[in-house]
Amino acid sequence: MDITSAEFVKGVVGSDGILFDGVPQVAFIGRSNVGKSSVINSLVNRNKLVKVGKKPGKTTELNFFSINERQVYFVDLPGYGYAKLGPSQRESIEKLISWYLLYSEVKPKMVVLILDIKAGVTDFDQQTIAMLKEQGHSFVIVANKIDKLNQKERSLRMSEIRKEAGTEEVIAYSAKDKKGVEELLAAIS
Binding site for ligand GTP (CB under 6 A): 30, 32-38, 52-53, 56-57, 59, 79, 144-145, 147-148, 174-176
Adjacent-strand bridge partners of 75: 27, 64
Cβ 175 to ligand GTP, closest distance in Å?
4
Q: How open is the CA angle 108-158-152, to the nearest 5 degrees?
A: 150
120: region left, alpha or beta (phi > 0 left; psi from -120 to 50 alpha): left
Cβ 134 to ligand GTP, closest distance in Å?
23
Cβ 136 to Mg ion, closest distance in Å?
26
Residue 45 or 134: the one with the smaller Cβ distance to ligand GTP is: 45
Is 170 in a helix, a strand, or coil?
A: strand
Cβ 35 to ligand GTP, closest distance in Å?
3
Comparing every residue's Cβ against ligand GTP, the nearest one is 79
- Region of 11-19, 20-28, 29-37, 67-75 interacting with Mg ion (CB under 5 A): 29-37
Q: What are the Cα distances from residue 167, in Å, to 28, 133, 170?
A: 18, 11, 7
- As a whole number of angstroms, the distance between CA 37 and CA 129 comes to 20
Residue 57 partner contact from Mg ion, ligand GTP, none using kind-dependent CB cut-offs of 5 to 8 Å: ligand GTP
Is 25 in a helix, a strand, or coil?
A: strand
Provide DSSP, 124-141: HHHHHHHHHHHHT--EEE
Cβ 129 to ligand GTP, closest distance in Å?
17
- Region of 28-36, 149-157, 159-167, 177-185 interacting with Mg ion (CB under 5 A): 28-36
Contact between 37 and Mg ion by CB under 5 A: the answer reads yes
Residue 81 partner contact from ligand GTP, Mg ion, none using kind-dependent CB cut-offs of 5 to 8 Å: none
- As a whole number of angstroms, the distance between CA 78 and CA 139 comes to 17
